[in-house]
Amino acid sequence: MSVLRRRLWPALVLVVTAAVGAGLGTPDRSTPVGASTGDLAPPIAGPTLDGGRFNLADVRGHPVLVNVFASWCGPCRDELPLLAEAGRRGQPAGLRIVGINLRDGPDAVRALLRETGAEAMTVVPDPDGTLAIGWGVRGVPETFLVDRDGRVVDRRQGVVTRQWLEQRLGPLLAG
């Protein structure tokens, strides 16, 4: 082997190795993670905080507000009374409010729901964050609106406001 080839060979191996390594580390963009507007809602199924069971597929035909929250989240605490009120007002139109409780103990969640008047909310515990990851949650609180066909029609990262709920829930409940 010539001197030039001996010097170029290690550089070529390094470039090819780096290119292959970079390609392996690139996420597959053809399979999006999480709930995007227009997509079918990711599944939520499992035991509820009150000892029952919940399956999002069982409430198809109803509009659903999915809220991801935690007792250790101050903004979550602030918005839960608004969600509870929205649930009471939307109940005649079939609205279901479902909370995914992220990385909490049941006693802390029950206390939070009592303090905020949200005891009627169906809560599915998510102790390891698996459900939240499936929905593409980036932080708490995060809220999703699912239409009667099971499609995500809106998403709010951060605290919902009364105005946001009124603007988004009105058309969802009318449909």
pLDDT of residue 140: 98
DSSP code per residue over the chain: --HHHHHHHHHHHHHHHHHHHHHHHS--TTS--S--TTSBPPP-EEE-TTS-EEEGGGGTTS-EEEEEE-TT-HHHHHHHHHHHHHHHHHGGGT-EEEEEEES--HHHHHHHHHHHT-TTSEEEEETTSHHHHHTT--SSSEEEEE-TTSBEEEEEES---HHHHHHHHHHHHH-
23-52 pLDDT per residue, tens: 333 333 333 457 788 899 999 999 999 999
Residue pair 84/69 in contact by the 8 Å Cβ criterion: no
89-106 pLDDT per residue, tens: 999 999 999 999 999 999
Q: Which residues of the chain have pLDDT under 70?
A: 1-33
Mean pLDDT of all residues belonging to the chain: 86
pLDDT of residue 77: 97
pLDDT of residue 1: 53
